[in-house]
């Protein structure tokens, strides 16, 4: 209780409250603009936190994350274009409701269930983080290596359409992070005599490059292709749904929130998968499944409750094990580390106050989101009218400032540009970039824990084979990869059958 | 270019990258001493080999081709606009970013920012409206200077050739 009161005192300062509110606002704006995801907002917000105290800094990042996740529904409902991938399922019925003149009630319901889903996942998170941390506190280097390997395999296997491309992407991320001075032996690796490369590729620089630069290039190359639809939705507001309606759907909201939290806790999955699963679940159990896709309110409630519940779910492995489940939480992880908070099993021993502060910050961020969405929806509609290419020019300047401010070095700006170009090319050739960033985040831990384990065992692999925990993680990793291979083979067989049928 | 051809090119480039990386790692990083000392070379080398293996698998899966596949697989259809590589805007953006980095160190943030914003708007966006050009370049410069330097206390570059503070 004392810890909680201390955390309240840390978060309920004007600076922290304002930071969380600013983050929620920026996240909502970035999340609601199609193509400008909240991951970009997080990458740009990170350098701003350098001069802040830990709690307001983390509050700013969490506010951006939560605001962004909620903001995606605005353009999904109003324009039929999801602001974020996790709002894609909301388009199906949300935009139909707009066409039927029910945009205001759709927006109001979306924000209410989003906040409910988020707060539900926060409660689960509070219980789970401590529990998982206690379980993981006894992990040695071998177990940590196996855990990170499992996390990597899940992420590479589950994101994107092709397992092999996911694995290639993950390996590229791991390779990038080996550049620089080796942490154990102090040997320079792949630096080619460059002083700038001795420190390696900075994680934050890489994140800004990976997420912001492709957006700038796309906005510049698709200039003037979007601004059509914002005009006709200018006179909209968020209308609160009736309590009777909400209570009537409470079972669905609870089930979808639980589904979202569970999905979020699995690294590599994320909001898009959760929202589509929730949509499918709602349709299956609906009394009127035929009305889905034609403006059914349940088609808005289910994905919105689920995708916001993902926020708490993804924070469970992040805080308790140090494994980020998606790019957004990878940036949050980087922010935590910058401010001296090392997520993982020992988190509660070293930074209990800050962790409780984060819980309060998440709750506060949802309150900010609720207030901003209900009162400021008209402003977001106007934001949707700003041409994307103009925003891209501003993002270009902010990216450069962000990259430069990390080490006051122009080299980081060049590195950001090069990594950004690489990311643009990879996205264009359908190689997912999420595993790159997670490979970069988890790569150093993977290598250091393996080498430490081998030193402890005197070069014997028995240290991995004698631990049941290690074997369980290895089996899970093999299972994830195996399942993905089977799924891809099945898909290939189906396509072959289609070909044969066409021929026949 | 079809998606299949694109995948073959990507796989070949990555295979070569993996091979060059592995060769450079073996050539420039010393191995461990054994008895538990894995050394600094092992992981970069394994990653290079893994890249070669995965790229090889991707290449092998894309090489066999039949005429029937061509007609049915989505992967062989015309590439949609969203996944097409627009090299010119991409290289222009890279050039603008590099120029910005160079100018930041030489003439400082206050002068480099309006120059790069003007350049991006004129060259990449083909914007000709004087009001927009002036508004964006001055607005972004003053706005970010106030936010970062004055409010947040983040150091913005001073020039070595010219310094306006």
Which tens digits make up the pLDDT trace of A436-457? 887 888 888 889 889 999 988 8
pLDDT at res. B60: 92
Does residue B78 share a domain with residue B95?
A: no
Domain that holds residue B123: 87-151
Q: Which of B51, B102, B104 sits opposite A171 (nearest CB)?
A: B51
What residues have CB less than 8 Å from B162, skipping those under 6 apart? B106, B107, B108, B111
3-class DSSP string for A445-495: HHHHHHHHHHHHCCCCCHHHHCCHHHHHHHHHHHHHHHHHHHHHHHHHHHH
The reply to whether B21 and B51 lie within a common domain is yes
Chain A residues lying within 8 Å of B93, measured CB to CB? 213, 216-217, 220, 396, 417, 420-421
Which residues of chain B make contact with A51, given a CB cutoff of 8 A? Answer: 152-154
Contact A475, A153 (CB under 8 A): no
Q: Cβ B43–A167 below 8 Å, yes or no?
A: no
The structure tokens listed for B156 are 């913005």
Together in a domain, B13 and B71: yes
Q: What is the mean pLDDT of chain A?
A: 85
Q: How far apart are alpha carbons B43 and A90 in whole angstroms? A: 43
Q: Does residue A167 sit at the B interface (CB-CB below 8 Å)? A: yes
Chain centroid, CA B145 distance in Å: 26
Chain A residues 180-199 with CB within 8 Å of chain B: 182, 184-185, 187, 189-190
> Each residue of A327-348: pLDDT tens digit?
888 888 888 888 888 888 888 7
Signed CA dihedral, B114, B119, B125, B129: sign only: positive
Structure tokens at A149: 């390997």
Label residue A185 by pLDDT band (50, 70, 90). confident
Between these two residues, A233 and A460, which has the higher pLDDT value?
A460
Neighbours of A429 (CB within 10 A): 18
Interface of A with B in 202-231 (CB under 8 A): 213, 216-217, 220-223
Place of tokens 């990653």: B47
All residues of chain B having their beta carbon less than 8 Å from the beta carbon of residue A457 are: 36
Q: Is A368 buried (19+), middle (13-18) or exposed (0-12) by CB count in 10 A?
A: buried
- Whether B122 maps to a domain, the answer reads yes
Q: How is residue A328 written in tokens?
A: 């957004």
Domain boundary among the residues B32, B55, B82 is at B82
- Regarding whether B30 and B52 lie in a shared domain, the answer is yes
How far is C-alpha B102 from the chain's CA centre?
A: 17
Contact B97 A499 (CB under 8 A): no
**What pTM was computed for the model?**
0.80
* Beta-carbon separation of A431 and B10 below 8 A: yes
Residue A402 CA to residue A406 CA, distance in Å, equals: 7
Nearest CB neighbour to A223, from listed B47, B100, B125: B125
Give A223's pLDDT tier (boundaries 50, 70, 90).
low
pLDDT band at B164 (very low <50, low <70, confident <90, very high): low
**pLDDT over 60 at A417, yes or no:** yes
Q: Other CB atoms closer than 10 Å to residue A243's CB: what's the count?
A: 8
The DSSP secondary structure of A370-438, one letter per residue, reads: HHHHHHHHHHHHHHTTS-HHHHHHHHHHHHHHHHHHHHT-HHHHHHHHHHHHHHHHHHHTT--SHHHHH
Q: Please, how many CA atoms are within 13 Å of residue A318, restricted to the half-sphere of its CB?
A: 30
**Are A83 and A74 a contacting pair, CB within 8 Å?**
yes
**Does B161 reside within a domain?**
no
Domain-located, residue B157: no
Q: How far apart are CA A368 and CA A100, in angstroms?
A: 29
Does B136 contact A425 at a Cβ distance shorter than 8 Å? no
Residues B11 and B78 occupy one common structural domain? yes
How large a percentage of chain B has pLDDT more than 70? 85
Chain B closest CA to A419's CA: distance in Å? 10
How many whole angstroms separate alpha carbon A219 and alpha carbon A35? 8
Contact check, Cβ <8 Å, A184/B40: yes
Most confidently modeled range among A33-42, A210-219, A416-425: A416-425
Distance CA A315, CA A267 (A): 10
Whether residue A276 contacts residue A303, with contact meaning beta carbons closer than 8 Å, is answered with: yes
Q: Quick check: A396 and B120 CB within 8 A? A: yes
Question: Cβ of B93 and A51 within 8 Å?
Answer: no
Pick from B14, B121, B156: CB nearest A401:
B156
Which of B62, B82, B102 is a domain's end point?
B82
B154 vs A51, A216, A459: nearest CB: A51
For residues A70-89, average pLDDT = 80
- The shortest C-alpha distance from B95 to chain A (Å) reads 8
Distance from CA of B131 to the nearest CA of A (A): 13
Examine the domain organization and report whether B103 and B141 are in the same domain.
yes
Percent of chain A whose predicted confidence (pLDDT) is above 90: 22
Is B53 within the bounds of a domain? Answer: yes
Residue of A nearest to B95 (CA): A417
Q: Cβ B50–A178 below 8 Å, yes or no?
A: no
Q: Can you give the pLDDT at residue A139?
A: 84
Whether residue B74 is predicted with pLDDT greater than 50 in this model: the reply is: no
Note whether B131 and B100 are same-domain residues.
yes
Tell me which residue range forms the domain holding A308: 2-503
Q: In this model, does residue A44 exceed pLDDT 90?
A: no
In a domain? residue B110: yes
pLDDT tens digits for range A95-113 = 888 888 888 888 889 999 9
Domain count, chain B: 2
Distance between CA atoms of residues A455 and B93, nearest Å: 46
- Euclidean distance between CA atoms A48 and B152, whole angstroms: 7
- In this predicted structure, which of B31-40, B64-73, B152-161 has the lowest mean pLDDT? B64-73
Interchain CB distance below 8 Å, B72 and A185:
no
Give the residue carrying structure tokens 């643009």.
Answer: A424
CB-closest option in B101, B124, B140 to A397: B140
Measured between CB atoms, which of A48, A171, A187 is closest to B152? A48
Are the C-beta atoms of residues A393 and A125 closer than 8 Å to each other?
Answer: no
CA–CA dist A447, A145 (Å, integer): 8
Which pLDDT score, from 0 to 100, does residue A234 have?
52
Phi first, then psi: what are they for A466, rounded to 5°? -90, -10
Is some CB atom of chain B closer than 8 A to the CB atom of A168? yes
A396·B30 Cβ contact <8 A? no
User: Where does a domain end: B21, B48, B82?
Assistant: B82
Please indicate, yes or no, whether residues B78 and B93 belong to a single structural domain of this protein. Answer: no
Do residues B78 and B91 share a domain? Answer: no
Note whether B62 and A483 are within 8 A (CB).
Answer: no
Looking at the structure, tell me whether residues B112 and B97 fall in a common domain: yes
- For A413, the closest chain B residue by CA position comes to B101
- Predicted confidence band at A274 (pLDDT cuts at 50, 70, 90)? confident
Residue A48 has pLDDT above 70, yes or no: yes
Over 60: is that where the pLDDT of A228 sits? no
Q: Which of residues 379-398 of A touch B (CB under 8 A)?
A: 389-390, 393-394, 396-398
Distance from the first to the final alpha carbon of chain B: 50
Confidence label for B83 from pLDDT (cuts 50, 70 and 90): low
Same domain, B71 and B10: yes
The rounded distance, in Å, linking the Cα atoms of A348 and A139 is 15
Distance of alpha carbon B50 from alpha carbon A367, whole angstroms: 47
Q: Kindly give, in sequence order, each residue whose CB lies less than 8 Å from that of residue A421, ignoring residues fewer than 6 positions away.
A: A213, A217, B90, B91, B93, B94
Contact list in B for residue A450 (CB cut-off 8 A) is 38, 43
| Interchain CB contact of A407 with B (< 8 Å) | no
* Cα distances (Å, whole numbers) of residue A433 to A81, A210, A419, A428: 22, 8, 11, 11
Chain A: closest CA distance from residue B164 (Å): 17
User: What values do phi and psi take at B2, rounded to 5?
Assistant: -80, 165
A174: which 2 tokens? 């791991």
Q: Report the domain count for chain A.
A: 1
Question: What is the spatial distance between Cα A202 and Cα A196, in angstroms, rounded to a whole number?
Answer: 10
The total of other beta-carbon atoms located within 10 Å of residue B16's CB is 12
Q: Span A44-56, mean pLDDT?
A: 83
H or E segment and range at residue A189: strand A188-189
- Asked whether the predicted pLDDT for residue A227 surpasses 60, the reply is no
* Separation between Cα atoms, residue A145 and residue A456, nearest integer Å: 13
Q: What is the token pair recorded at B61?
A: 């899966």
Q: What is the ipTM of this complex?
A: 0.87
pLDDT of residue B102 exceeding 90, the answer is yes
The predicted structure's pLDDT at residue A37: 74
Query: Which two tokens mark A465?
Result: 């084979």
Query: Quick check: B73 pLDDT over 60?
Result: no
Q: How far apart are CA B105 and CA B159, in angstroms?
A: 5
Say whether pLDDT at B71 is over 50: no
Do residue B97 and residue B52 come from a single domain? Answer: no
Quick one: pLDDT at residue B80?
Answer: 44
Q: Is residue B11 part of a domain?
A: yes
């Amino acid at each position: 209780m004392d810890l909680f009161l201390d955390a309240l005192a840390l978060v309920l300062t004007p600076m922290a409250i304002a930071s969380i509110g600013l983050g929620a606002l920026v996240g909502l704006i970035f999340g609601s603009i199609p193509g400008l995801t909240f991951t970009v907002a997080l990458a740009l917000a990170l350098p701003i936190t350098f001069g802040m105290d830990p709690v307001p800094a983390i509050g700013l990042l969490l506010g951006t994350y939560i605001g962004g996740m909620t903001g995606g529904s605005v353009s999904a409902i109003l324009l039929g274009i999801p602001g974020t991938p996790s709002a894609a399922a909301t388009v199906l019925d949300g935009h139909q409701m707009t066409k039927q003149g029910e945009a205001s009630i759709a927006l109001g319901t979306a924000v209410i269930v989003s906040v409910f889903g988020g707060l539900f996942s926060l409660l689960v998170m509070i219980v789970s983080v401590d529990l998982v941390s206690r379980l993981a506190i006894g992990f040695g280097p071998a177990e940590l290596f196996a855990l990170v390997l499992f996390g990597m395999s899940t992420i590479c296997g589950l994101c994107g359409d092709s397992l092999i491309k996911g694995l290639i992407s993950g390996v590229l991320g791991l390779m990038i992070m080996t550049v620089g001075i080796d942490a154990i032996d102090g040997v320079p690796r792949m630096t080619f005599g460059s002083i700038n490369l001795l420190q390696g590729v900075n994680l934050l620089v890489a994140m800004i490059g990976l997420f912001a630069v492709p957006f700038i290039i796309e906005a510049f190359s698709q200039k003037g292709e979007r601004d059509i639809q914002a005009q006709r939705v200018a006179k909209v507001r968020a209308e609160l749904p009736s309590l009777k309606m909400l209570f009537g759907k409470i079972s669905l909201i609870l089930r979808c929130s639980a589904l979202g939290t569970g999905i979020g806790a699995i690294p590599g999955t994320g909001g898009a998968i959760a929202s589509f699963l929730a949509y499918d679940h709602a349709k299956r159990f609906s009394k009127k499944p035929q009305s889905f896709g034609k403006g059914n309110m349940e088609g808005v409630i289910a994905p919105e409750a689920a995708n916001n519940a993902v926020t708490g779910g993804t924070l469970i492995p992040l805080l308790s094990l140090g494994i980020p489940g998606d790019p957004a939480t990878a940036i949050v992880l980087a922010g935590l580390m910058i401010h001296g908070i090392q997520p993982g099993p020992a988190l509660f021993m070293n930074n209990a106050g800050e962790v409780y502060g984060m819980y309060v910050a998440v709750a506060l961020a949802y309150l900010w989101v609720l207030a901003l969405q209900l009162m400021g929806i008209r402003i977001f509609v106007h934001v949707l009218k700003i041409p994307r290419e103009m925003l891209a020019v501003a993002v270009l300047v902010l990216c450069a400032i962000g990259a430069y401010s990390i080490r006051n070095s122009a080299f980081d700006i060049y590195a950001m540009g090069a990594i950004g170009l690489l990311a643009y090319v990879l996205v264009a050739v359908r190689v997912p970039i999420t595993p790159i960033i997670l490979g970069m985040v988890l790569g150093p831990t993977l290598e250091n824990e393996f080498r430490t384990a081998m030193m402890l065992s005197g070069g014997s692999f028995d240290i991995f084979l004698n631990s049941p925990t290690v074997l369980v993680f290895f089996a899970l990793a093999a299972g994830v990869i195996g399942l993905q291979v089977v799924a891809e083979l099945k898909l290939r067989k189906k396509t072959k059958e289609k070909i044969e049928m066409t021929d026949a | 270019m079809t998606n299949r051809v694109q995948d073959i090119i990507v796989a070949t480039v990555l295979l070569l990258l993996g091979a060059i990386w592995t060769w450079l790692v073996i050539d420039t990083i010393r191995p461990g001493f054994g008895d538990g000392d894995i050394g600094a070379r092992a992981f970069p080398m394994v990653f290079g080999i893994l890249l070669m293996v995965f790229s090889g698998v991707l290449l092998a899966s894309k090489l066999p081709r039949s005429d029937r596949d061509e007609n049915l697989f989505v992967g062989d259809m015309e590439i949609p606009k969203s996944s097409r590589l627009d090299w010119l805007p991409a290289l222009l953006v890279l050039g603008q970013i590099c120029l910005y980095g160079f100018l930041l160190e030489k003439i400082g943030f206050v002068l480099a920012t309006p120059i790069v914003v003007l350049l991006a708007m004129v060259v990449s966006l083909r914007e000709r409206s004087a009001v927009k050009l002036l508004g964006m370049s001055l607005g972004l410069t003053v706005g970010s200077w106030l936010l970062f330097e004055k409010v947040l206390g983040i150091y913005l570059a001073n020039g070595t050739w010219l310094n306006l503070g």
